[in-house]
Structure 1
Amino acid sequence: MADVRITAGPFQFLARFEHEAAPKTVAKFQSLLPYRQRIIHVRWSGQGCWIPMGELDLGLEFENATSYPAPGQFIFYPGGVSETEILLAYGAVCFASRAGQLAGNHFLTITEGLENLMPLGEKALWQGAQDIVFETL
């Protein structure tokens, strides 16, 4: 079952919200849909891409925070030690910033299109920022 269509660069994915594990994060993100931004390759975390959100305060706290999202998992970091951001793991990730290891709320999981995660990550790494759009189905 999918809740969201994600178009990132030339790739499309379907994903489901993690309603039980991160209800507040899911509700807040749903209120932003459709959400359009650019996704760039991470600096410290490994095989991941992120959407920097600066000092944006969405009033969220930690729900089911993890530092080790699996490929296809999106986590939301509500800010604090580092800036607010959304991170997508496309391979091995230990979520971090220049301040050290961080943890974010796992709120969205890709269910279709996983074969395109590595190509998306490599495209962001070697070709730069990619447009990304999250839309409800």
Structure 2
Amino acid sequence: MTGLEITVGGFSLRARYEEEAAPRTVAALRDRLLPLESQIIHVRWSGQAGWIPFGDLDLGLEAENGTCYPHPGEIVIYPGGVSETELLIAYGYVSFASKAGQLAGNHFATVVEGGQHLPALGERLLWEGAQDISLREV
């Protein structure tokens, strides 16, 4: 499997790339962001998800395999525009939005191992705050 190993909040997850549906997004992630060491926080506007804001980072991306409603385990990148560039990991149901309104993120990966930990991760983000996160290609 080509994808991501994600270590976050004491949990280990594996995600497969959605290379057929989002090849440009996967390529940009590989070229510009990986490996990634950061912190993830609970979303402000979108429901049940963790969020890594990247500010005005330009990944050179446009909409690709977009969704406004990521399902649990889906990972999306919003490439910037009406809101900042950001990565979102859904642990529950999401209506992806910002203060500017509804957003469509590029669904580029899906958790395939460790998904049973997503609800506990969401609880940790909500009640304990920012958590260290590491994303590495496997």
What range is the shorter-chain TM-score in? over 0.9
Partner of 1:34 in structure 2? Answer: 35
Alignment of 1:31-70 (within 5 A): 31=31, 32-70=33-71
Could you tell me the TM-score, scaled by structure 2's length?
0.96
Cα distance in 2 between the residues matched to 1:67 and 1:73: 11
**In 2, are the aligned partners of 1:2 and 1:111 still within 8 Å (CA)?**
no
Cα distance in 2 between the residues matched to 1:37 and 1:62: 24
**In 2, are the aligned partners of 1:77 and 1:86 still within 8 Å (CA)?**
yes
Cα distance in 1 between the residues matched to 2:2 and 2:57: 27
Count of paired positions: 137
Partner of 2:115 in structure 1? Answer: 114
Partner of 1:4 in structure 2? Answer: 4
Shift of 1:2: 5.1
Segments of structure 2 that go 5 or more residues without pairing to the other structure are none
**In 2, are the aligned partners of 1:71 and 1:89 still within 8 Å (CA)?**
yes
Shift of 1:3: 2.1
Q: 1:60-98, CA deviations, whole angstroms, 9 ceiling, x for partnerless residues? A: 000111000110000100111111000111101000011
Runs of 4+ in 1 over 6 A off after TM superposition: none
Alignment of 1:87-106 (within 5 A): 87-106=88-107
**In 1, are the aligned partners of 2:62 and 2:79 still within 8 Å (CA)?**
yes
Amino acid at match of 1:10: G
Cα distance in 1 between the residues matched to 2:59 and 2:43: 22
Shift of 1:35: 1.0
**In 1, are the aligned partners of 2:83 and 2:100 still within 8 Å (CA)?**
yes
Deviates more, 1:65-74 or 1:32-41: 32-41
